[in-house]
Amino acid sequence: MSERKSIHGEWSSQLAFFLAATGSAVGLGNIWQFPFIDGNNGGGAFVLIYLACIVLIGLPILIAEVTLGRRGRESPVNTLRGLALDEGRSRAWVGVGFISMVSGIIILSFYSVVAGWSLDYLLLSLRGAYAGASPDRVSRMFAGLTANPWRQMFWFTLFLAVSLWFSARGVRAGLERAARIMMPLLFALLLLLVVYALIVGDAGAAFSYLFSPDFSRLDGQAVLLAMGHSFFTLSLGIGAMMVYGAYTPNNVSIFRVSIWVAVADTGVALFAGMAIFSLVFAKGLAPAQGPGLIFTTLPVAFGAMPLGSLFGAAFFAVLVLAAWTSAVSMIEPTVAWLEERGWVRMRAVLAVGAVVWLLGMVLDFSFNIWSGVAWQGRTLFELFNFVSSDIMLPLGGFLIALFAGWMVSERSLRRELGVSRPLLRLWLLVLRYVTPVGVLLIFLNALGLIRGAL
């Protein structure tokens, strides 16, 4: 097989790839979801399971996605088509690419809505809207936001428009530039917030909450959540990392950078958790608030702290920055695919953006005009989240692991990865057996088929 070249361009360096991939990985999943999932599921015990899922399931698939992408050098659909052809496998593998494009679009629709809330809260913080506010008033503030379809629409549209703008500018001038500007800013602001929270907050309580294990709260459901989250947080299962891999220069060490991406991603989640819970505990607030933790509980804590509005603004800025560099990666598989079909990038971005926007409107309305619409006890918003994050991502990741582990020859993988044979073997062993079996067990458990065994 001759060397392929990406028609979309390449990252300018290993650092650029690291920043872009970390930008994709670090998002609302780290700062909004991880802390509340952890808080609801036994703190330290959950962290241990989560770390195991990252190492045994997430990291091997991350390496697989980037490797496949760089080998194929195209959008996930065409990369899978090309590799299946090279290796003499069924063309049906292309289907994985199509599933992934759909999940990316669904995820971005609810992601944009939550990122929109963060933008609204950024402004509220700057205005001092929750300074000294009671929990009751902050709850009403949040309810007021979601009850207002037009205010919600304004913010999520703004968020989406900026994401699309970066996306439209292409790999180097758009995706890479977004990561180069936003990621260092994000790290700096987060560090500042952690230091602030450690000074004014209750670091001891946060630490023992996050890290002291309570195994009695750990059940099959928690394991499922940990696994699902390890996919989501590393942006796996929808070909986002695959297409980022397609833009990676040949001299980049995929193994090394992937490990760093996983470390940075986990680090941000843990640091964000430390900052959030130090503040929440200092004010004696309840940690297990679910999705509302960030938008209803945390502002109460900030509102009661010295310089709380300012640091509150910094917190919501971190959330928005993290979300932007993730958003661009969710639609990249589809945008790249349309480009390969001859569309101009701008047109592809606008078309994908229009679909995301329409879905986002449905979700917007699911909080107000259509709040009565539910299916099996889930609102539309919860349903979108469940189907994409809990079903489509693990399914996509499972199939990608099977493809990379069993369909691609060891020789091709070794050529792409350039690592020593023992290391390659170790990775393949995990990817072939541990990863798919892990995903399968957790699925069966979720369906109630092996309840009690986990």
Cβ atoms of residues 166 and 180 within 8 Å: no
The H or E element that residue 279 is part of is helix 254-282
Q: How many residues at the interface with ligand TRP, by CB under 6 A?
A: 16
- Which residue in the set 6, 22, 30, 167 belongs to the binding site for ligand TRP (CB under 6 A)? 30
The Cα–Cα gap between 448 and 437 comes to: 16
Q: Does 29 bind ligand TRP (CB under 6 A)?
A: yes
Q: Does 232 bind ligand TRP (CB under 6 A)?
A: yes
Cα angle, residue 44 at apex, residues 40 and 46 outer, rounded to 5°: 55
Taking CB under 6 A as the binding criterion, the range among 19-27, 35-43, 255-263, 415-423 that sits at the site for ligand TRP is 19-27
Q: How would you class 430 by CB atoms within 10 Å of its CB: exposed for 0-12, middle for 13-18, buried for 19 or more? A: buried
Rounded to a whole number of angstroms, the minimum distance from the CB of residue 352 to ligand TRP is: 14
- Which residue in the set 109, 329, 385, 445 belongs to the binding site for ligand TRP (CB under 6 A)? 329
Q: Does 97 bind ligand TRP (CB under 6 A)?
A: no
The Cα–Cα gap between 352 and 62 comes to: 25
The contact mask relative to ligand TRP for 261-280 (x = CB under 6 A, - = no) is --------------------
Amino acid at position 432, single letter: R
CB atoms within 10 A of CB 328: 27
Which of 93, 274, 124, 119 minimizes the C-alpha distance to 199? 274
- Which residue in the set 107, 270, 359, 442 belongs to the binding site for ligand TRP (CB under 6 A)? 107
Taking CB under 6 A as the binding criterion, the range among 26-34, 119-127, 130-138, 410-418 that sits at the site for ligand TRP is 26-34
- Residue 43, classed as helix, strand or coil, is strand
The H or E element that residue 444 is part of is helix 435-446
Taking CB under 6 A as the binding criterion, the range among 25-33, 62-70, 209-217, 427-435 that sits at the site for ligand TRP is 25-33
Name which of 254 and 419 has its Cβ closer to ligand TRP. Answer: 254
The contact mask relative to ligand TRP for 330-359 (x = CB under 6 A, - = no) is x-----------------------------
The Cα–Cα gap between 415 and 68 comes to: 11
* Interface with ligand TRP (CB under 6 A): 24-25, 27-30, 107, 232-233, 235, 238, 240, 326, 329-330, 393
